[in-house]
Structure formats: C-alpha cells, structure tokens
Amino acid sequence: MTDVAPSSAGHPPVDARAIAALIPHRFPMLLVDRVEDIVLGVSARGIKAVSGNEPFFAGHFPGRPIMPGVLIVEALAQTAGVLAILSMDLKDSGKLVYFMAIEEAKFRAPVEPGCLLHLEVEFVQRRATVCKFAGRATVDGKVAAEARFTAMIADPPA
C-alpha cells in the first residue's frame, strides 16, 4: 500500500544527457542509460544496456562475468533518484538524493554482458525529505533483482 497520491501527469523520456543533468553520477558509476514511462509522483522505468566493457566485469568474475547485485540495486536507486527529482520539482535546485536504507533485497537471476536490464521503480511513501521506493530489475521479462529502499533529499556536502 502506498502513501503517495497518484498523478496522471506523465513526463517525456529522459535520455543519458538529461539524466546527467539531474543526478551527479558519471561513468563508471552512472548505471542507467534512459528513464521512460515516467508518471510523476508514482513510477518510472529505466533501462541499462549491460556491456561486456563494464569495468566491474574484469573482477566479477573472470571467466563468468556477472553484474554485482549491489550495482543492480544502485541502478534502481538512480532510476528512483531521477523520478524523485522530477516529481518533487528539484531540477537545478542542487539537491541530491542519498541512499538511507536497502531492505528486502533479493537476487533472482544473474545479469550478464549483453543483457538489457529493465529497471522499474515506484514510490511507496513520499515525505518532504525522505522517500521510500520499491524496485524490480528484469531481463527478458524475468526478475533479476528486487528491493525496497529509502532515500533522503538533502543539500550536497559543503
């Protein structure tokens, strides 16, 4: 059950350049390529094209490259960060979205090079400075990972 009032206001898709204008992450930590199907105040879907050239594959694992689960959760959080910034009208405010908690994380299937990772997030609860989200990452319609997480909206460090 959600504490978020639904909105019928959609938002156009957000490409990589626009994502970089909304959140501070950059390569190699920018883990979402596009955010689409955005319903402000409710949900969004992100996409991450998982390339064999990702730097983490060199060590996770040699001979059997698998995207680390924590990075899948980070990709979900970045998608949620874009949703929060747009929904709360924080673009150009200088505010950042910081992880506070990760709960109920489950990893169901490996994510390998060549996969198209679909990142689905929705608000579970939204307050002035704290938001809770539910997220699910899928590949070819199969759940790869899911988690609930909390984020705080705050000013960047001085």
Domains of the chain: 10-154 (3.10.129.10)
Radius of gyration in angstroms for the set of CA atoms belonging to the chain, rounded to a whole number = 15
Catalytic annotation, pick one of 11, 25, 60, 118: 60
Q: What is the pLDDT of residues 43-97, one digit of tens each?
A: 999 999 999 999 999 999 989 999 999 999 999 999 999 999 999 999 999 999 9
Tell me how crowded residue 73 is: count the other CB atoms within 10 A of its CB.
21
For the chain, report the end-to-end CA distance as a whole number of angstroms. Answer: 37
Tell me how crowded residue 153 is: count the other CB atoms within 10 A of its CB.
20
pTM, rounded to two decimals:
0.92
Please indicate whether residue 11 is annotated as part of the active site.
Answer: no
Bridge partners (DSSP) listed for residue 119: 46, 137
Q: Which helix (H) or strand (E) holds 17?
A: helix 16-22
Q: Given a cut of 80, is residue 6 above it in pLDDT?
A: no
